[in-house]
Structure 1
């Protein structure tokens, strides 16, 4: 059948204008879809595209959850792939072979600011992700000073005292949920070591409630629309303003009395810039923002890691027994005092904690924005160039379970961290439970000592068993902890 161009032209001219627009739009969209399919399948130096249905496929994959997205993308494309989402491209780098630049690059090459700006309403203006990288580098120096070894030695007795006081209120036996229990305890230790004596002694419950409102104001929708006018954001903003007023009074009282306290708040009060702002001291709003940022960086991660450490040790009876035996050995060497030196000798407990963190890291993804293109080479020898402007993601939760990185990756095996195996050191950035490189967690030693203090108190005084089956991770939460799981405790008849 011959195609009559003149007849086609006549039919088109006879169409109603709205119908003509609809046909034209449909043809244009079809052409775009075809072109997208073709471009996605062409060989290129850029990472392979993992999208499926053009324009909406990436959105649908994120909706199904990041763990499924990463698993499906890895099975299809390997360690490197790009998922287009609306106007952004998310490129995933899974495993140590491809994530080196992510961790080692400076802020001019791989930037945190653009991807974490949703934290600004919570942390406040003028701190961390609301400042350029030169100011942020100075503020990170203040964090590092507050968390150096000499300071940590001062904080350890506070960790121990809070844990002993907290667990002394337990009866001879009972049933608890570790996630809830450790969340309550960590905010107590944080209030004493971070926010100060004044908060811990006279306004703990008020401040804890305000921090709860801040926490509840950080929702998945907040990542895209941090200023969306919704009740959770209104409560967040009221809590942030009230915290500013509370800490302004505490800071002013300390400055007037010239009192010297041994906590992180005092470290921030005494800190001054060296390379920016003319060398001035931090103002009240900056101090409050730094305190909030520090608490958010550590509270959930420490409480969740404490919970997983206990759950995994209780399930693996050999590890729990080894950790108890280590406590006996430490007591024989150091006495009953839980000093920093005693805690540092607890290698078995530390390996159990690290293995729990490997299997169940609280943060699913770490993000940066590429400010310049860079190349990566996979474990199979394929090289890709990541374009400028891509949001780049790596994942402790997925990378820690790659079989070419860790042997039998789904098994709880704390000895993988012991010499001579040391699987975490086989390649740089194999273990990223505390991040790594330029922006590795500065509070990692603080967290390790805190969790060791808590579990030392528990191991010396209690026995445990799971009431429910071992819990799954709750991937619905922004910071991933265990789903509810009941644990039965029984106080030892003879404490260690």
Structure 2
């Protein structure tokens, strides 16, 4: 009772003050408390150094949100590879470089959780029961279900379908209209998200589902994509227009998938080798005998396509922009393609999945783009148990977050010489190959969806690592390789590389991001 009486007296006293005095207290007290708490924190030898901040709760959000890699480098110079910062009420502990990759990606499942870090962000976008809205063991099995449609035999079927979609886009889209024009201007932030959606839906979901994907459907995915912003990470549900669009898009896309699932169920004509939808309708029973519901399958389809959308749309946009500044490199790639086709005695339509493996400059261009522009600049985990940082006295408390940034290492001079130079040919050098060797040759582990490399101590990890490593790496190279060969064989272009827009959680080019194109003599349209 004494505490209640004291609180009541305090409220009465506060209300008796003038408005100016009340405002002063409301402003000054949080700032004083903020400075005092940081001072006390700094005295603890078992805590990671904290980046100083003036504004309570907001912390270093502005610096991190505008230029994360510059922010990390500035902090590294002051504190070393391990430091923490306040991000909108959340304490983020950063561990930069390969040792940080190993510490976070290979941390015990009981100690760190991606589900608790991302669930509130991803569930409104993907839907319930999938990805991070389920126990980790379920997610590992869902990845295994999806991998049934990501086989070498599947990739062989996908290449001609992807190429056909791109040529159709070149023919019909207003950015190109190649039957009517021999030159023009295209915004890669319009063309590449659309091409990504159309090619992925055709190859992964089948012809019938592709027919339902038009520009309005691509726009629905763009509305879903807006659900992945820093403000959504902190406030997953607010009464704002982009939240309403996100929710409406999720419901409409889900309804489309449910309609197709129902149609296939009724027909009963299911072939696990035909496409991802059939594969999931057949292979979606967990080890404990529980079957995924049709709604969960529809939600998983959203998640799979969204994952590929981020990677391929941003990566293809970036390699088009970089190549626009390097016409000689375009010619080198063009000559590599033509030399291979000459050996085969055909044109681009004869280029197969196996042929993509014989085009090192194509694959190195993709690899270099992912080095300079890893789609996600930061990856989070929530700490579930006090976590000791190896070889230090630092303990990260339960409820804090750990942050890893392979993209920082990709663009650091500590691991890549001339890191700001877009140079696919760097991957032919022994030094660059060495940067990836630990990732490719380390011991393998099976988290439930097939064996992956356990080693994550490489500075080059464009698809992440550990149990949450992206399963779509091979598909991404098939899709991106087919996109790049089709562009190069039909067009040549110029452009200026814009700055990176870090305001979303995906590293996209700032607008305008245009290419000025013209037909090549080998254009197929």
Give the TM-score taking structure 1 as reference length.
Answer: 0.86
CA shift in 2, pair 1:339/1:46, >3 Å: same
Q: Do structure 1's residue 189 and structure 2's residue 199 form an aligned pair?
A: yes
Offset at residue 314 of structure 1 (A): 3.0
Q: In the alignment, which of 119, 124, 134 is matched to residue 131 of structure 1?
A: 134
- 1:86-165 equivalences in 2 (<5 Å): 87-117=89-119, 118-165=121-168
CA shift in 2, pair 1:102/1:344, >3 Å: same
Q: Do structure 1's residue 491 and structure 2's residue 504 form an aligned pair?
A: no
Cα distance between partner residues in 1 of 2:361 and 2:63: 40
- 1:418-437 equivalences in 2 (<5 Å): 418-421=428-431, 422-425=433-436, 428-437=457-466
Offset at residue 155 of structure 1 (A): 1.6
Q: What secondary structure sits across from 2:462 in the alignment? A: coil
Structure 1, unpaired ranges of 5+: 1-15
Q: Do structure 1's residue 272 and structure 2's residue 284 form an aligned pair?
A: yes
The aligned counterpart of 1:52 is 53
- 1:189-208 equivalences in 2 (<5 Å): 189-202=199-212, 204-208=214-218
Cα distance between partner residues in 1 of 2:503 and 2:29: 38
Offset at residue 59 of structure 1 (A): 4.7
Q: Is the 8 A contact 2:321 2:514 kept in 1?
A: no
Offset at residue 91 of structure 1 (A): 0.7
Q: What secondary structure sits across from 2:197 in the alignment? A: helix
Cα distance between partner residues in 2 of 1:42 and 1:250: 60
Q: What secondary structure sits across from 1:477 in the alignment? A: coil
Q: What secondary structure sits across from 1:98 in the alignment? A: helix
Q: Is the 8 A contact 2:35 2:54 kept in 1?
A: no
Q: In the alignment, which of 438, 447, 452 is matched to residue 481 of structure 2?
A: 452
Cα distance between partner residues in 1 of 2:187 and 2:247: 31
Q: What secondary structure sits across from 1:213 in the alignment? A: helix
Cα distance between partner residues in 2 of 1:26 and 1:119: 35
Q: Is the 8 A contact 2:65 2:502 kept in 1?
A: no
The aligned counterpart of 2:86 is 84
Q: What secondary structure sits across from 1:96 in the alignment? A: helix
The aligned counterpart of 2:365 is 352
Q: Do structure 1's residue 241 and structure 2's residue 222 form an aligned pair?
A: no
Q: What secondary structure sits across from 1:476 in the alignment? A: coil
Q: In the alignment, which of 470, 473, 480 is matched to residue 507 of structure 2?
A: 480
CA shift in 2, pair 1:246/1:27, >3 Å: closer
CA shift in 2, pair 1:235/1:98, >3 Å: closer
Q: What secondary structure sits across from 1:174 in the alignment? A: strand
CA shift in 2, pair 1:417/1:423, >3 Å: farther
Cα distance between partner residues in 2 of 1:365 and 1:333: 44
RMSD: 2.9
Deviations 1:70-95 (A, max 9, x none): 23322321211111346531011211
Q: Which has the larger radius of gyration?
A: 1
Q: Do structure 1's residue 327 and structure 2's residue 337 form an aligned pair?
A: yes
The aligned counterpart of 1:5 is none
The aligned counterpart of 2:427 is 417
Q: Is the 8 A contact 1:98 1:376 kept in 2?
A: no
Cα distance between partner residues in 1 of 2:476 and 2:106: 23
Q: What secondary structure sits across from 2:99 in the alignment? A: coil
Offset at residue 375 of structure 1 (A): 4.2
Offset at residue 173 of structure 1 (A): 1.3
Q: Do structure 1's residue 366 and structure 2's residue 366 form an aligned pair?
A: no
Cα distance between partner residues in 1 of 2:370 and 2:31: 47
The aligned counterpart of 2:6 is none
Structure 2, unpaired ranges of 5+: 1-12, 172-176, 439-456
The aligned counterpart of 1:342 is 355
Q: Is the 8 A contact 2:66 2:503 kept in 1?
A: no
CA shift in 2, pair 1:462/1:441, >3 Å: same
Bigger shift: residues 193-202 or 300-309: 193-202
Cα distance between partner residues in 2 of 1:80 and 1:236: 36
Cα distance between partner residues in 2 of 1:220 and 1:196: 34
- 1:371-386 equivalences in 2 (<5 Å): 371-376=384-389, 384-386=394-396
Cα distance between partner residues in 2 of 1:283 and 1:257: 18
